[in-house]
Amino acid sequence: MKVLKFGGTSVGDAGRIGRVADLVAARAGEGLLVVVSAMGGVTDLLLSLGSSARAKDRTAAEAALAKVGQRHVAAVEGLDLSEEAAEECRAALGRELARLGDLSTGVSLLGELSARTSDSVAAAGELLSAGLLGAALARRGADVVTLDPRDLVPTDGTHGAAVPDEEEIARRVGESVLPRIRASQVVLTGGFLGRGPDGATTTLGRGGSDYSAALLGAGLADAGAEVEAIEIWTDVDGILTADPRLVPGARLVREVSAAEAAELAFFGAKVLHPATIRPAVARGIPVVVRNTFRPEAPGTVVKAEAPGEGVRALAMRTGVAALFVSSARMLLAHGFAARVFSVFERHRVPVDVITTSEVSISITVDERAPVDALVAELSAIADVRTLRGLAVVSVVGRSLRTTPRVAAKIFGALGGINVVMISQGASETNLTFVVEGADAPEAVRRLHRELFEGKEEAG
């Protein structure tokens, strides 16, 4: 039994949806639960629809809604469906567009877009793509059943980043998914979505379809199924030694440990959602990253432990702000650090990189966080300075602190680049640098030349 998750680029148009349907139909006898993202770019269009409606820009909102409709109409027309199946898809699309239009009108009248409404708008992408892929699979003779992901993934009431109830997921998967797979049906559902205690649609955060796949795979295992793997199908061959857009010669990493994969995901490698690994690895289920457009490629296997030491890959995340909190009088006072971090907790802002000295605490956050509000509150207890437009560059591997010459190579490669902060995790899995955003691509390229030159693959 396997879970297959297909990302937005994999189902970006009719041709790609057909390719995925061919792949799944050919493997229908393996016992499959298929999780699908929205068509590539559709979630952004839906979020643009909401923000334009909030700004009372009806022209922009209507344009975004029209583009959503056009993308899906084109997909229906290009899938070579029977007229009956095509009409069912068009009817489902019409209902979703009408619902989105009503939501847009309401948001525009109020001039307010709640997190609850934003989740409801964003949900359309996964619901529509699941319908299209289901129709394409049925056209190929697969015995497919499409289930609403909100009925499978109960969450708390947090909108935008809901917390799933894994015990209840296992119960629901055991009742509605497992019997169907055992009856040789292909079970298909959307990712990203859940349902809160009040029945409202929730989302697991951007990229949450990976997380959905891991949660559902873990639920199958908890319900008594033997889950061989969770396969994340995307548009790259697997986890690479660096972003190929920055480093065209980036190498495939054949195996990584769960800790390494989590670090790479957290610090900017976009192949996996950061939360994906834990539910799967906790149950001994390998996560395999594979390329929809090169299914013959071996991919990357993520498991509890991977052989070898040293550097595995590089990650980069831009759009970072740093806050430098200093107070010679208060820093050594009991509870000062707790007071500083309680400010971030109150504003629900996660922190990334942390460094400390005798008189200061330096912290990085996403630049989209309410930095000004953080500064205003922190200024009551300390002096605060900020820098924006930064980037985090991370070197990820195993036993970095004790691997010979790694540190020398890293610091040598970064000569001449201004490093704002340096941090090494206690796990020895990452060595992280904060640099100016404009310098980050060059930092990655230099590090890659120094650490991976001449290697055909890593891991």
DSSP annotation string for 2-33: EEEEE-GGGGSSHHHHHHHHHHHHHTGGG-EE
The neighbour count for residue 286, using CB atoms within 10 Å, is: 17
Dihedral Cα 332, 338, 344, 348, nearest 10 deg: 170
Q: Looking at the 3D structure of the chain, how many domains does it have? A: 2
Q: Which two tokens stand for residue 68?
A: 């959503």
Whole-number pLDDT of residue 206: 74
Q: Where are the beta strands (DSSP E) in 128-237?
A: 144-147, 186-190, 193-195, 201-203, 229-234
Structural domain ending residue among the three candidates 217, 234, 251: 234
93 in the same domain as 204: yes
Count of beta carbons in the 10 Å neighbourhood of residue 51: 17
Any domain includes 260:
no
Q: Is residue 256 one of the residues assigned to a domain?
A: no
* Residue 238 DSSP symbol: S
Same domain? For 56 and 172 the reply is yes
Residue 227's pLDDT is: 97
* Cβ atoms < 10 Å from Cβ of 268: 22
What residue numbers bound the domain in which 11 lies? 2-234
At what angle are helices 14-26 and 58-78 packed, to 10 degrees? 50
Most distant CA pair in the chain, distance: 76
Same domain, 99 and 208: yes
Provide CB contacts within 8 A for 167, sequence distance 6+: 222
**Radius of gyration (Cα) for the chain, nearest Å?**
23
Residues 195, 81 share a domain: yes
Residue 36 belongs to a domain: yes
Give the Cβ contact number of residue 447 at 10 Å. 25
Nearest to 376 by CA among 347, 336, 354, 338: 347
Q: Which residue has the tokens 């500064």?
A: 375
Predicted confidence (pLDDT) per residue in 122-160, tens digit: 999 999 999 999 999 999 999 999 999 999 999 999 999
- Which residues, 6+ apart, have CB-to-CB distance to 338 below 8 Å? none
For residue 270, give the nearest of 310, 203, 319 by alpha carbon.
319
Q: Beta 193-195 vs 201-203: how paired, if at all?
A: antiparallel
d(CA 339, CA 217): 40
Answer whether residue 281 is part of any domain: no
Which whole-number Å values give the CA distances from 105 to 16, 111, 112, 122, in the listed order?
33, 10, 11, 16
CA distance 133 to 36: 8
Q: Which two three-digit tokens encode residue 176?
A: 């509605």
Low-confidence ranges of the chain (pLDDT < 50): none
Dump pLDDT digits (tens) for 63-105: 999 999 999 999 999 999 999 999 999 999 999 999 999 999 9
How far from 38 is each of 52, 86, 116, 127, 177, CA to CA, in Å? 20, 19, 19, 8, 21
Q: Are 221 and 355 contained in the same domain? A: no
Q: Does residue 10 sit within a domain?
A: yes
Whether 227 maps to a domain, the answer reads: yes
Q: How far apart are CA 75 and CA 79, in angstroms?
A: 6
DSSP sequence for 363-409 = EEEETTS-HHHHHHHHTTTSEEEEEEEEEEEEEEEESTTTSTTHHHH
Instruction: Name the one residue in this structure whose structure tokens are 């989209």.
Output: 368
Give pLDDT, residue 158.
Answer: 95
Instruction: Determine the angle formed by the axes of helices 83-110 and 115-122, rounding to 10 degrees.
Output: 160
SS3 162: coil
Instruction: List % helix, strand, coil for the chain (3-state, nearest 5).
Output: 45, 25, 35
Structural tokens at position 236: 């790259």
106 and 206 part of one domain: yes
Whether residue 224 sits in one domain with residue 319 = no
Last residue of a domain, one of 193, 216, 234: 234
Alpha-carbon distance 311 to 306, whole Å?
A: 12
Q: For strands 310-326 and 360-366, give the pairing.
A: antiparallel
Do 421 and 336 sit in the same domain of this protein? yes
Nearest to 287 by CA among 260, 314, 307: 260
What's at 14, amino acid-wise? A
Amino acid at 70: Q
211/325 same-domain check: no
Instruction: Report the CATH number that the domain containing residue 366 is assigned in CATH.
Output: 3.30.2130.10
Which helix (H) or strand (E) segment is 431 a member of? strand 430-436
> Where does a domain end: 215, 234, 253?
234
pLDDT of residue 455: 55
Residues 228 and 348 in one domain: no
Same domain? 101 vs 213: yes
End-to-end Cα spacing for the chain: 26
Q: Is residue 335 part of a domain?
A: yes
Q: Which residues contact 245 (CB under 8 A, 6 or more apart)?
A: none
Q: Please, what is the Cα angle at 432 between 428 and 434, to 5 degrees? A: 165
Supply the CATH number for residue 184's domain. 3.40.1160.10
| Per-residue pLDDT, 458 | 56
Give the amino acid at 209: S
Indicate if 199 and 339 belong to the same structural domain.
no
Residue 194 lies in a domain: yes
Task: Report d(CA 329, CA 319) in Å as an integer.
Answer: 32
